[in-house]
Chain A
Amino acid sequence: MNAHKNNYRGAAMKAQALLTPLLVLSCLFASACATQLEVVGQFPPALTHKLPLRSLVVFEPDFANYRFDSTVGEEVSVAVGQIQVELFSGLAASLFQHSSTATDMTDNNDVDLILVPRVEDVQISMPNESQLKVFEVWIKYNLQLFDSSHEPVADWIMTAYGKTPTRFLKSDTEALQQASMVALRDAGAHFITGFSRVPEIQQWLRQRQTRAQATNDSTHR
């Protein structure tokens, strides 16, 4: 009976000894297939004329911690929250005479314009899915703008695109980091060059100017 028990225990130990490296290997393979990254980088200050406005950029937690997760095909997880905060803080500092940031709209009322950026959608295309030799990243933002009394000024749907070609000995993580940075720089370019061209913003700026002129005229009389 004891001999049987010992044989059984020995077989179990052998199976365990075989299973452990197999499990470790399968875990390693599973993690090798998944692409996880937090986009990091720096943006140069934008070369643009400053608008005579005091702005407040509201970074809601959803925006500041935004992470794109895709489980279709290869598992991809890209965190863009922190880098987006850095991008929009820098853009506001370049475009507006005064700019500040907050996590809530009620934080500060001593401003002319409140900008609340939101991520509507992120799409990622890998070479094995698209059959193209490029990694692509699309980001769709909804930039909501409010005046000092929290009245909506504009809902600006702004898209950004970035790509990077596949390279020999370049990992998927590295390629996605580059494509994401190109997309974020593109978002910045779109924001700076397109801000004053959005019809609702254009109209609001014009109304503000007319109001300011009328106030000036009445004080001079």
Chain B
Amino acid sequence: MKPLTIGSALIRVLLLLTLSACTTTTVDEYRENDTALTLASNERVVVLGRRHYADYETEPDFIDCIGEKLNADKLVTVLPERQFVDLLYPWFEPRTAPLGLKRLAKMLDEPLIAQRFNKQGLRYMIWIDGSTETTEREGSVSCAIGPGGGGCFGFATWEKTGTYEAIIWDLHTRQESGRVKVEARGSSYMVAIILPIPIIAQVQDQACDGIGRQLRSFFRANTRRELASGTP
């Protein structure tokens, strides 16, 4: 029998590390009407996170992830959140960002702000509200180190729940176009026998995938219809 080399041991550890636990995702969708959202070639979409609550805020990396999902098939051009917030500073800070369409309409009545929106070719604003939280935690892993070496021992498990809602605002009609709600749950595990082996549930990634795919369908349906009507 061949002795276990360091290289093969490392590969085995890495393989174990890539194991991911199961995540269940539920997506709910609400559309104002059956027609898909129109987006001209020079028009863009901005995805923004809600940050005004005291106990949580929508993660910026989650917003970036949704932007990437929307832009995946190059049908929807997304203006990055940070760029948008800086271009419209100080009107989209947690203190000043509009919570409803009435407030947004009032904001767009200000020529200086409306002009900036038009210059950026913004057609839709998508607000994301929610966060991923650790809901349950059990077990423990303890590690020790001494002159002869060190190691970890134990078992821990934790459950994460990501709940997010996306609301689409049409900036031309100044009306709501649709909503998508997603809930993703997943349990992660950490087994430690000398080496700690984490088996992580990608809850936030799954929530992003679910919400991103659903949001894309709001725009994609329109492109499909255009293509179908254009075929002889």
B46-63 interface (Cβ within 8 A of A): 54-57, 59
The segment from B83-91, B149-157, B166-174 that touches chain A is: B83-91
Q: Does B140 contact A (CB under 8 A)?
A: no
Residue in contact with B89 in the complex, picked from A43, A133, A134, A182, CB distance below 8 Å: A43
Q: In the complex, are the beta carbons of A47 and B113 less than 8 A apart? A: yes
Known contacts A134-B55, A163-B57; decide if A44 and B87 are in contact (CB<8 Å): yes
A182 surroundings in chain B (CB, below 8 A): 94
Q: Does B116 contact A (CB under 8 A)?
A: yes
Q: Does A200 contact B (CB under 8 A)?
A: no
Residue in contact with A45 in the complex, picked from B56, B57, B89, B96, CB distance below 8 Å: B89
Q: In the complex, are the beta carbons of A47 and B91 less than 8 A apart? A: yes
Q: How far is the CB of B28 from chain A (nearest CB, A)?
A: 25
Residue in contact with A165 in the complex, picked from B59, B93, B95, B96, CB distance below 8 Å: B59
Q: How far is the CB of A64 from chain B (nearest CB, A)?
A: 23
B11 surroundings in chain A (CB, below 8 A): none
Name the CB-closest residue of B to A90. Answer: B89
Q: In the complex, are the beta carbons of B94 and A47 less than 8 A apart? A: no
Q: Does A219 contact B (CB under 8 A)?
A: no
In Å, the complex CA distance between A46 and B56 comes to: 27
Q: How far is the CB of B200 from chain A (nearest CB, A)?
A: 11
Chain B's interface size range is 10 to 19
The dominant DSSP class at the A interface is mixed
A133 surroundings in chain B (CB, below 8 A): 56
Q: In the complex, are the beta carbons of B59 and A193 less than 8 A apart? A: no
Known contacts A185-B93, A186-B94, A186-B95; decide if A47 and B56 are in contact (CB<8 Å): no
Residue in contact with A132 in the complex, picked from B55, B86, B90, B112, CB distance below 8 Å: B55
How many residue pairs link A and B with beta carbons under 8 A? The number is: 49
B69-106 interface (Cβ within 8 A of A): 86-91, 93-96
The dominant DSSP class at the B interface is loop
Q: How far is the CB of B117 from chain A (nearest CB, A)?
A: 11
In Å, the complex CA distance between A133 and B53 comes to: 13
In Å, the complex CA distance between A48 and B89 comes to: 9
B93 surroundings in chain A (CB, below 8 A): 185-186, 188-189
Q: In the complex, are the beta carbons of A190 and B95 less than 8 A apart? A: yes
Q: In the complex, are the beta carbons of A47 and B95 less than 8 A apart? A: no
> What per-residue 1/0 map shows which CB atoms of B113-154 lie under 8 Å from chain A?
100100000000000000100000000000000000000000
Q: How far is the CB of B110 from chain A (nearest CB, A)?
A: 9
Q: In the complex, are the beta carbons of B55 and A46 less than 8 A apart? A: no
B113 surroundings in chain A (CB, below 8 A): 47
Could you name 16 residue pairs across A and B whose Cβ atoms are closer than 8 Å?
Answer: A43-B89, A44-B86, A44-B89, A46-B90, A47-B89, A47-B90, A134-B55, A134-B57, A163-B54, A165-B59, A165-B131, A185-B93, A186-B95, A188-B89, A190-B95, A193-B90
Closest 3 CB pairs of A and B: A189-B90, A44-B86, A189-B93
Interface residues of B (CB under 8 A from A): 54-57, 59, 86-91, 93-96, 112-113, 116, 131
Extra inter-chain contacts (7) besides given A165-B59, A189-B95, A193-B90, CB under 8 Å? A44-B86, A47-B88, A134-B57, A163-B54, A164-B57, A188-B90, A189-B96
